[in-house]
Structure 1
């Protein structure tokens, strides 16, 4: 997860301007907050709302695995993590196909389409596919907005760890460190990559290696989880994740209309 920092620079974030940055921050905070509240109302663990809401609002499977590492141990944690990874990946692929059609149907400009795609599609690869499928300008804007969402991973991990520390303290167990090592490394790599001193070959190799690590992590969780366990989750968690995705898309469109 730390190697995701090689995909982002401070300059990329600054180049967005304050409107897209504000849209990304508001969307992330509201999506995660509403997800945690609704999860509680539906009878789920509140931290499941944080896990799935974070995956939806930030960067899909990568965010799910990073957040899971910061959350407290639970007998159903691995199953919830794998369910979130599978669910967010399916929804991201669906969004890659559907959201460009929505952008065209609503008559969004290339700038607006890029912000919409980058602010709503879960995984980086699907954002790139959807954006450049519309045009180069849309793809460029969507990719930078998406990287801004990836940058939000650090404060959300910090929030997750604070929740974990509070729960650990209440349960009498040991409290985890305020920031996991991979979160610190993530911030350090963002800072190093922002200096421009890092050779492009090294940054690209690190980014590619992070994808392989992501695949390995998902495979490791999958080996510990049986398919029949996922089949028992029922319809409610599925509808919950679909609802998170729809909420994020509707919120981003509303904020785009407000800002225009």
Structure 2
């Protein structure tokens, strides 16, 4: 009969293999957080750049398993915990106008991304990845979408490239968009809707919105959360489409469990089943897991391999960003 010690031995061996890589990834995450808090740049960008500077560890046998575990498994746990950030009441408080705007912009931007990618000789999956990151919530959406897309030879490089591109463009938008929308004659409420509908990352939405006014910041944050709420729907649809596309036998599609967990947490939070303190802890944990996962992705991917993808990839992300901004202005004007 197997003893308790014998049962625990495989777990200890597995933990021993994973711990060095996990420790390195979260050390990078902690350094990125420190730099972000002291210099004001996006934490995701710092995590990526610091991670890439340690790319040599990806070939180190002691670190590689833990880095891989952080980039894949812990990433998905972090995505699931994002559900604690939003509730249905926050979404319904926006009314139908912003909801219609977000849905139109989401579908159109992802469709535009796929079309443009195919026109420029890129895979459909690259258009979905970049279009979803631009249309939903930047780096977090890129990581979530990447987790359910087919794994081709450029998959990880494309993911890392997308995270860097949307994070950088989001920082630029945080500064430029309030100036542009004010110059176009929109009031504070309308500017809040536009900022929430067009800037990629949540932190930049909050920063740009409250820089205009408290009203603008509140509205921008709610609209942005509505975009985040679209993430599980998009992920489930993509999981179905991508799997069916790769499976010619028509077999049943396995749903990614992290998307189910995301929806379950969102619903529990909406019905008040999660205490405020616990929800806050879940959001903080999600943030750390995502930053750690991005750091691990940075460690896994060489800068040379990423930029070897060429300027076409950057052109796709920039075009999607401009498309989303122009479309949001047109739809808001019509509404």
Q: TM-score normalised to the size of structure 1?
A: 0.96
The worse-fitting range, judged by mean Cα deviation, of 243-252 and 188-197 is 188-197
| Residue 180 of structure 1: aligned partner | 256
Instruction: Describe how 1:147-226 pairs up with structure 2 within 5 A.
Output: 147-170=225-248, 176-177=253-254, 179-226=255-302
- State the number of aligned residues: 257
- Change in Cα spacing, 1:233 to 1:175, as seen in structure 2 (3 Å) is farther
Work out whether residues 52 and 84 of structure 1, in 8 Å CA contact, stay in contact via their aligned partners in 2: yes
| 2:191 counterpart (110, 113, 117) | 113
| Residue 245 of structure 1: aligned partner | 321
Deviation of 1:196 (Å): 2.0
2:157 matched to 1:79?
yes
Q: TM-score normalised to the size of structure 2?
A: 0.75
Work out whether residues 80 and 259 of structure 2, in 8 Å CA contact, stay in contact via their aligned partners in 1: yes
Work out whether residues 6 and 189 of structure 1, in 8 Å CA contact, stay in contact via their aligned partners in 2: yes
- Change in Cα spacing, 1:166 to 1:221, as seen in structure 2 (3 Å) is same
Task: Give distance in 2, aligned partners of 1:50 and 1:163.
Answer: 11
Task: Give distance in 2, aligned partners of 1:76 and 1:197.
Answer: 41
2:307 matched to 1:231?
yes
Task: Give distance in 1, aligned partners of 2:211 and 2:279.
Answer: 25
Task: Give distance in 2, aligned partners of 1:100 and 1:18.
Answer: 23
Work out whether residues 170 and 200 of structure 2, in 8 Å CA contact, stay in contact via their aligned partners in 1: yes
Task: Give distance in 1, aligned partners of 2:321 and 2:90.
Answer: 25
The worse-fitting range, judged by mean Cα deviation, of 33-42 and 23-32 is 33-42
Unpaired runs of 5+ in structure 1? none
| Residue 61 of structure 1: aligned partner | 139
Helix, strand or coil at the partner of 2:137: coil
Deviation of 1:197 (Å): 3.2
| Residue 13 of structure 1: aligned partner | 91
Helix, strand or coil at the partner of 1:73: coil
Work out whether residues 168 and 174 of structure 1, in 8 Å CA contact, stay in contact via their aligned partners in 2: no
Helix, strand or coil at the partner of 2:299: helix
Deviation of 1:78 (Å): 0.4
Work out whether residues 125 and 150 of structure 2, in 8 Å CA contact, stay in contact via their aligned partners in 1: no
